[in-house]
Each structure stands twice: as C-alpha cells, then as structure tokens.
Amino acid sequence: MSIENNTGSENQNQTSGTVPPATPATEVAPSAGQNTLASLLALKESNPKVFYGGIGAVALVVLVLMLSGGSDKKLPAHQAKAMVPGQSYVLKSPNTYDPNATIRLVAVPGSMAAYDDTEENDREGGCKHMPQNTPVKLVQSQNDITDKSVVWVEVEMTGPGECQGRRAWTSAINLQ
C-alpha cells in the first residue's frame, strides 16, 4: 500500500505544477563573496597575526613575480666579419648617411683619436681623407692595444688616382 500512495502523491505533485522557484546565479555569487569576506573579517578579529601575515605573503609573491624579469634575451651585439688579407674591399663608414663624407686614414694603428685636422691642409692631400666606396685591398689587421674589440686594418689603395698603391690604417668597421 505504501508503494501505491507514493506513486499517487508523485503524480499529484507533477500534475499540480508546483515547482519550487530556482534561485538565479546572480544571487548566489554575492552570497559566496559575502561569505568569504565575512570569514576574512572573522579571521582578522580572532587572529590578526595570521590575517596580516597572509596579506604580506600574497604581497611578497606578487612583488617577486613582478621583479623576477622576463625572458633571457640577450642584446644584439656587433658581429665582426672575418677579415682576409689580400681580399678587396671598399671604404664605407657605417656611421654616416652622407655620400660626401670621407673616411680618415692614419699612419699608425690606434692614432685615430689623436689627430687634429683643424688645418685645411690636413684635410687635403696626403691621402688622409678618402671618399666613400674607395676600392682597397686588405694588407693586415691587428687588435687595438687598449680595447680588444676594436680591430685596426692596414689597407692599400687600389683605385686609380694619386693614392694608388699607398698604405694606411683605419678601423675595420670602415671596410665592406
């Protein structure tokens, strides 16, 4: 008999259409947030050392993540090209876009910073200032005494003109 009564009462509930109202999801989220907030405030009142210690730990983790850097990318460095004695090159300064710029040639490697060309006769004659794209042949190269990353090259002028066959020194970055 009890089985029949249960079945009959289920049928009555289904046909009567009385379904308890569902709570919307928007009402559930604030109550969960309120419960978390209430538990944190209760922890603050009951055990403030643990509460502030937790805040400090979270702040420390965030600080470590912010200061830990990113990738290990290295800055691009200048790759020196192989200089081959006897090879032909042209003089071309990588530091200028002016086609009329000249390249300074010196008699002794390393004396580039020691010259004073304030006199007009120093700029002309003696094959000391050569125009861009002057053909040259590499005679020898050597590292700078004070800075091993700087390479000096001795070149021989191969282009036509009064400087043909003359030798002088310049920085290796001026050869292309």
What is the rounded average pLDDT of the residues 104-110? 82
pTM assigned to the model: 0.51
- Beta strands at 129-131 and 102-104: parallel, antiparallel or unpaired: antiparallel
**Of 134 and 19, more confident:** 134
Element containing residue 152 per DSSP (H, E): strand 151-157
Output the pLDDT for position 79.
Answer: 65
pLDDT digits (tens, 9 = 90+) for 4-19: 555 544 545 455 555 5
Residue with tokens 């050869």: 175
Nearest to 134 by CA among 105, 111, 110: 105
Euclidean distance between CA atoms 127 and 120, whole angstroms: 14
Please state whether beta strands 151-157 and 102-104 pair in parallel, antiparallel, or not at all (unpaired): unpaired
Convert the pLDDT of each residue in 135-165 to its tens digit. Answer: 999 999 888 888 777 888 999 999 888 889 9
**Domain ranges within the chain, ordered by starting residue:** 26-68, 88-174
Residue-wise pLDDT for 53-78, tens only, equals: 999 999 999 999 888 876 667 776 65
* Tokens of residue 91, six digits: 């003089």
